[in-house]
Structure 1
Amino acid sequence: MNNKNFLTTVFILFCAFASGQGNSWSLTKCIDMALQNNIEIKIRQLEIKRTQKSQNSVLNRMLPVVNFYGEQGYNFGSSIDPSTNGRVSSNFQNDNFYLNAKTNLIDFNAFANAKKDKINIELAKAEKEVIENEYKLQLLESYYQALYTQELLKIQKEQLKQASFNLERVTKEVNIGSKPQSDLYDMQLSFSEEENRNLETEQLYGIKKTQLFQLMNVMDVVTDEVILEPYLKERPTYMVESTSYNPKIKFAELNYQSSLKLIGLERANNLPVLSAYYGFSTFYYKTLSHTNASSDSFQNQLADNKSQQVGIQLNVPIFNGFRNNKKIDASKIESEKTKLVIEQEKQQLDKQVALEEQNKKNYLQIQNKWMEKLRYAKASLTTTEAKFASGKIEAIVYSSVKNQFLSAEYEVLKNSLQLQYIDLKINLLIKNHL
């Protein structure tokens, strides 16, 4: 049986064992549950919605602004009579009404702002993906730390069973006088050490699972009953560059695009704005101090005092103390900074992936050594079992050989899990999915 078939068989047997016991949790189940419960991700989802609601299209920005003003005032003493524009000594009531509408026919600032709004939405989405990616990496590491400990505990329990069996056997042999008392002391010491190691691993396993479920924000699960499953999905051994997608690089690229839009926005402030406007106004006047004074009715005055205004306005910036030019220069510098951040993120990703690839290469090299050791341990166990059955060797020797075989099995499985962990981590770094 070659290495690949052996590992596949081990994983399938492990899954069958795990799925039949307790509350089984896979890596994908943990990630899905964690993404649903993470508060920071929920906040980012709301931020995306807020940014979308804040977006204004070019058409929306070009729609006219219409305002209506109403005013009622009272003048006492010497005042200006609105009907004659002469100063009189009287008290009167004055009501004024204005309706104004204005729209920009050509406004480069509106175009620049609309483009920047679209980038802001993409930035909010990319920022959420960055947080999700970092969170997945934390979950992946926590999951496999717990999985390593789970596998170690399984091996140590087998070792403890073997130690218990040998202790009982030696105890019986000492009682009947076929073994010296010193052999019993040796077995008791060996059994005590196995018990202590098993207890320490059980405690560590409980902590690792608790840390995993706390990271997932899942508090209603009894972690003592949880069984973790290895990730068995087949993955390609090569990476397609065209499908590469790292959220941090994407976020940096969008930041650079946003900085370019900001330069365009500052430049738009130097361009002319063509506007059209319309105004409508009227007023009502009534003298209060003269009892015999007569005035037209409210409705007649509003109709007689109507005034309308229509016009086109061109606003051409000429000089503002070079303040806007300085803002443009500052925006260009900021754009260069964001461009360098893209290269920085790419360099960091390349370094991280290269380091993981080297780790993967090392684990692949040592895997053959562990397989070779497992073959030797199995062969040694076979001969040792025969000698032990015939009484040619002591129980402690047989226990030691049995433990070496179990440890060799664990090393093979652990190394395979390490390779699996590295593959998944590289996929998350490069493709943002398992």
Structure 2
Amino acid sequence: MNNKNFLTAAFLIFCALVSGQENPWSLTKCMEMALQNNIEIKIRQLEIIRTQKLQNSVLNRMLPVANLYGEQGYNFGSSIDPSTNGRVSSNFQNDNFYLNAKTNLIDFNAFANAKKDKINIELAKAEKEVIENEYKLQILESYYQALYTQELLKIQKEQLKQASFNLERVTKEVTIGSKPKSDLYDMQLSFSEEENRNLETEQLYGIKKTQLFQLMNVMDVATDDIVLEPYLKEITADIAENASYNPKIKFAELNYQSSLKSIGVERANNLPVLSAYYGFSTFYYKTLNQENSNSDSFQNQLADNKSQQVGMQLNVPVFNGFRNNKKIDASKIESEKSKLVIEQEKQQLDKQVALEEQNKKNYLQIQNKWIVKLQYAKASLTTTQAKFASGKIEAIVYSSVKNQFLSAEYEVLKNSLQLQYIDLKISLLRNNVL
């Protein structure tokens, strides 16, 4: 092993030792795992395959249909003799064989249905994308809820460390008599409150992570070791400025196109159909229980009794009680409904995006306030720390100022995460991508 490989291996081992048992999960990793495990998405994928299998092209619909029939019967008593077409008192066996084939040469219904089948495949794909988009939004919200709690827990752990340090210091000062015992009681109360708050946040964090991984259908991961990573990828201007691609709008548009094809299918039922057909038949008969029966052999009779028929048929609809016209009118109304659904989905998307844009604007405005507050808190902490080191203020005052600084730091961080969450949500709503 050369020096470069050795250093690389040593660095990886060092990183593994430093990270301990932590298992980092990014938003992208959660999305990918969730989409792989979601049962509803798998069902929709099978629905796409099923729809593709049901598709019939125009050529397939125009292929001839051929049927072969065979029939064997026995007649007893008075019946018609096929050879003389006269009524006789006899019993005989009769075997009939038919071969029929028919194909449509011109069939407008086949063209209309073939076009509708293609739309049905696109509809199935769009429906899958709608479910994926809604699922991504759920994962995004759950992920950031857990991420907020994770960052809050980090701040509270720092606060707890500070409270523990202050408690230890005041305990020593009370022991040597430089502080009254009442200060120790105050610090013990403060430490207890911080400890309880930290425990509640830890429990909430565990619940949020469990809810996230349950939503992802990932059950074989120890959530206690999971660490969520902030999403670092920036929203590119190309994606933000492109024409929006919302799966619900796409599904509504395809549904409208399908309704137009349905009108074409109903109209095709009023158009003529030109067909060609071919028929072949033969039969065999044999008299039963007659001593003087001179029936030819089975093979000879099949050869002698052959009959063929070839022809073309034109079927022109003339009158059907206006039933088909009613179906056309109903399809037109359904088409108008589908067209309105497109506008409805666009309006809902615009409302959602406008609301998120307003939230983003509000968070941007308050972000400056939080940053200013953090600057004040940092400056106050610097002076308070100096006073505390010189013994001019009590430890509980210093602890309070320290907690204010940590809280202000968390508010800035949380606000930044909320802005990030809104950008990602808008991107999913508009373009179905992170």
Q: TM-score, structure 1 length as denominator?
A: 0.95
Following superposition, the deviation at residue 192 of structure 1 comes to 0.7
Instruction: Give the match for residue 161 of structure 2.
Output: 161
Instruction: Give the match for residue 49 of structure 1.
Output: 49
Instruction: Give the match for residue 84 of structure 2.
Output: 84
Map 1:286-301 onto structure 2 (within 5 A): 286-301=286-301
Instruction: Give the match for residue 235 of structure 1.
Output: 235
SS of the aligned residue for 2:421 comes to helix
Instruction: Report if aligned partners of 2:95, 2:285 keep a CA contact under 8 Å in 1.
Output: yes
SS of the aligned residue for 2:196 comes to helix
Q: Structure 2 CA distance, aligned partners of 1:78 and 1:366?
A: 104
SS of the aligned residue for 1:279 comes to strand
5+ unaligned residues in a row in structure 1: which ranges? 1-15
**CA separation of 1:128 and 1:204: change in aligned 2, threshold 3 A:** same
Map 1:382-397 onto structure 2 (within 5 A): 382-397=382-397
Instruction: Report if aligned partners of 1:21, 1:227 keep a CA contact under 8 Å in 2.
Output: no
Instruction: Give the match for residue 9 of structure 1.
Output: none
Q: Spell out structure 1 runs of 4+ moving beyond 3 A.
A: 18-21, 237-243
Q: Structure 2 CA distance, aligned partners of 1:109 and 1:39?
A: 37
Instruction: Give the match for residue 423 of structure 2.
Output: 423
Instruction: Report if aligned partners of 2:74, 2:91 keep a CA contact under 8 Å in 1.
Output: yes
Following superposition, the deviation at residue 245 of structure 1 comes to 0.5
Instruction: Report if aligned partners of 1:72, 1:96 keep a CA contact under 8 Å in 2.
Output: yes
Q: Structure 2 CA distance, aligned partners of 1:87 and 1:51?
A: 57
Q: Structure 2 CA distance, aligned partners of 1:292 and 1:32?
A: 86
Instruction: Give the match for residue 40 of structure 2.
Output: 40
Instruction: Give the match for residue 304 of structure 2.
Output: 304
Instruction: Give the match for residue 205 of structure 1.
Output: 205
Following superposition, the deviation at residue 291 of structure 1 comes to 2.5
Q: Structure 2 CA distance, aligned partners of 1:186 and 1:401?
A: 15
SS of the aligned residue for 1:254 comes to helix
* Amino acid in the other structure paired with 1:72: Q
Please list the CA deviations of residues 275-327 of structure 1 after superposition, one character each: whole Å capped at 9, or x if unmatched. 00000000001111202312111111000000000000000000010000000
SS of the aligned residue for 1:67 comes to strand
Q: Structure 2 CA distance, aligned partners of 1:401 and 1:235?
A: 37
* Amino acid in the other structure paired with 1:266: E
Percent identity reads 90
* Amino acid in the other structure paired with 1:304: D
Please list the CA deviations of residues 243-295 of structure 1 after superposition, one character each: whole Å capped at 9, or x if unmatched. 42000000000000000000000000000000000000000011112023121
Following superposition, the deviation at residue 234 of structure 1 comes to 1.7
Q: Structure 2 CA distance, aligned partners of 1:52 and 1:394?
A: 76
Q: Structure 1 CA distance, aligned partners of 2:302 and 2:320?
A: 43
Measured on the aligned residues, the alpha-carbon RMSD in Å equals: 1.4
Please list the CA deviations of residues 197-247 of structure 1 after superposition, one character each: whole Å capped at 9, or x if unmatched. 001100000000000000000000010000000100022357655442000
**CA separation of 1:98 and 1:251: change in aligned 2, threshold 3 A:** same
Instruction: Give the match for residue 262 of structure 2.
Output: 262
Instruction: Report if aligned partners of 2:277, 2:312 keep a CA contact under 8 Å in 1.
Output: yes
Following superposition, the deviation at residue 65 of structure 1 comes to 0.2
Please list the CA deviations of residues 136-158 of structure 1 after superposition, one character each: whole Å capped at 9, or x if unmatched. 00000000000000000000000
Q: Structure 2 CA distance, aligned partners of 1:37 and 1:146?
A: 20
Q: Structure 2 CA distance, aligned partners of 1:199 and 1:359?
A: 31
Q: Structure 1 CA distance, aligned partners of 2:146 and 2:291?
A: 96
Map 1:212-227 onto structure 2 (within 5 A): 212-227=212-227
Q: Structure 2 CA distance, aligned partners of 1:239 and 1:63?
A: 47
Q: Structure 1 CA distance, aligned partners of 2:344 and 2:72?
A: 64
Instruction: Give the match for residue 71 of structure 1.
Output: 71
* Amino acid in the other structure paired with 2:133: N
Q: Structure 2 CA distance, aligned partners of 1:238 and 1:96?
A: 73
SS of the aligned residue for 1:218 comes to coil
Instruction: Report if aligned partners of 2:58, 2:111 keep a CA contact under 8 Å in 1.
Output: yes
Map 1:5-16 onto structure 2 (within 5 A): none
Instruction: Report if aligned partners of 2:240, 2:427 keep a CA contact under 8 Å in 1.
Output: no
Map 1:18-417 onto structure 2 (within 5 A): 22-236=22-236, 240-417=240-417
SS of the aligned residue for 1:283 comes to strand
* Amino acid in the other structure paired with 1:271: L
Instruction: Report if aligned partners of 1:170, 1:184 keep a CA contact under 8 Å in 2.
Output: yes
Following superposition, the deviation at residue 329 of structure 1 comes to 0.4
Instruction: Report if aligned partners of 2:280, 2:308 keep a CA contact under 8 Å in 1.
Output: yes
Q: Structure 2 CA distance, aligned partners of 1:333 and 1:242?
A: 33
Q: Structure 1 CA distance, aligned partners of 2:225 and 2:239?
A: 37
Q: Structure 1 CA distance, aligned partners of 2:178 and 2:389?
A: 15
* Amino acid in the other structure paired with 1:61: R
SS of the aligned residue for 1:311 comes to strand
SS of the aligned residue for 1:312 comes to strand
Q: TM-score, structure 2 length as denominator?
A: 0.95
SS of the aligned residue for 2:318 comes to coil
